[in-house]
Amino acid sequence: MKKLWALSLLASVQMSLAAESFGGIGLAIYPSEFGAEIADVVKGSVAEKAGLMTGDFLLSANGIPLEGESLEYDMEVLRGNPGENLVLSVMRGNDTLTLHLQREKIVVQSDGEGSPVLYKKSANENLVFLDEVELSGLNAKVYASKETSTKDIPISESQSLDSFSRTEIVLNLENSGFAEMELLTAKGERVQKFQMEGVAGKNSIEWNGSKLPRGSYFVRISQNGKNYYFKGMLR
């Protein structure tokens, strides 16, 4: 379904340019005295995978306060080079969460008959479709840009949450070695902690989540000094 984004991290005011690429996380925001309020989240984006939700307030990014600042200022702070880390302080209701993300290259391309194609992807670049939005009366499509090798090797989903249920959690790890996993509520409260000697590839953890209430949870993986956040749902 097409979404109407009046104020957005996805594109500049100059939508007549028809295409834009930048390092970001995939959010539509508008300024607020409490911080940058999330108006929408691009499906499949880094922001969605980290568990950010509509109505959350971004209080700071990498320690830089966003409270009471302009949209242009918030955009400048949240954007950066693809691959750079971004630590967000997020207010959700009465709780404050700390989320670790990594910017990715996002491409916004106007869509429709007669739209000029201004974004020229490189030979080793693959555009993965994320969402369709409407900006200033123009249709636009949002992509994540992924680099592949000159041999066109498929992109490895190096870290992923493949299965999340009340009896089993299946993780896909890029590397072997010691790893810690924490299960957090949507408010950031720790429910359970696991330690394991992970293997590169699929790792299955049996556990008992029968007494936990339904709803959204976060799974945080710590391995080799890096943290990865994934969203899971218990039904």
Cβ–Cβ under 8 Å, residues 36 and 74: yes
What pLDDT, on the 0 to 100 scale, is given for residue 88? 92
What's the order of all strands across the beta sheet hosting 138-147? 3-4, 125-135, 138-147, 104-110, 19-24
93 with 1, same domain: the answer is: yes
179 with 135, same domain: the answer is: no
75 with 35, same domain: the answer is: yes
What pLDDT, on the 0 to 100 scale, is given for residue 152? 34
Q: Which two tokens stand for residue 120?
A: 């020229």
d(CA 118, CA 222) in angstroms, rounded, equals 40
49 with 70, same domain: the answer is: yes
Q: Which H or E run contains 74?
A: helix 71-78
Q: Are strands 104-110 and 125-135 parallel, antiparallel or unpaired?
A: unpaired
Write phi, then psi, for 35 (nearest 5 degrees): 140, 180
d(CA 23, CA 6) in angstroms, rounded, equals 20
Query: Considering only 41-45, 115-119, 131-135, which range has the smallest mean pLDDT?
Result: 115-119
Write phi, then psi, for 68 (nearest 5 degrees): 75, 5
Pairwise pLDDT comparison (124 vs 86), residue with the higher score: 86
Of the segments 31-40, 146-155, 167-176, which one has the largest average pLDDT value?
167-176
> Global pTM?
0.55
77 with 168, same domain: the answer is: no
6 with 91, same domain: the answer is: yes
Which of 58-83 are b and which e, b meaning 16 or more Cβ less than 10 Å from the residue's Cβ? bbbbeeeebbebeeeebbebbbbebe
What pLDDT, on the 0 to 100 scale, is given for residue 217? 83
206-222 mean pLDDT: 87
| Residue 229's CATH number | 2.60.40.3080
Whether 154 is covered by a domain: the verdict is no
| Residue 111's CATH number | 2.30.42.10
Following CA atoms 14, 15, 16, 22 in sequence, which dihedral angle do they give, to the nearest 10 degrees?
Answer: 80
User: How sure is the predictor about 138, in pLDDT bands with cuts at 50, 70 and 90?
Assistant: low
143 with 169, same domain: the answer is: no
User: How sure is the predictor about 15, in pLDDT bands with cuts at 50, 70 and 90?
Assistant: very low
Domain boundary among 114, 149, 184: 149
Q: Which H or E run contains 78?
A: helix 71-78
- The string of pLDDT tens digits covering residues 151-210 is 333 333 467 888 999 999 998 888 899 999 988 776 667 789 999 999 998 999 999 999
54 with 144, same domain: the answer is: yes
130 with 214, same domain: the answer is: no
Q: Please provide the distance, in angstroms rounded to a whole number, between the alpha carbons at the two ends of the chain.
A: 25
For 173, the domain range is 160-234
* Counted domains in the chain: 2
Domain boundary among 102, 125, 149: 149
- Give the burial class of 179: count Cβ atoms within 10 A of its Cβ; 0-12 exposed, 13-18 middle, 19 or more buried: buried
96 with 134, same domain: the answer is: yes
Cβ–Cβ under 8 Å, residues 77 and 103: no
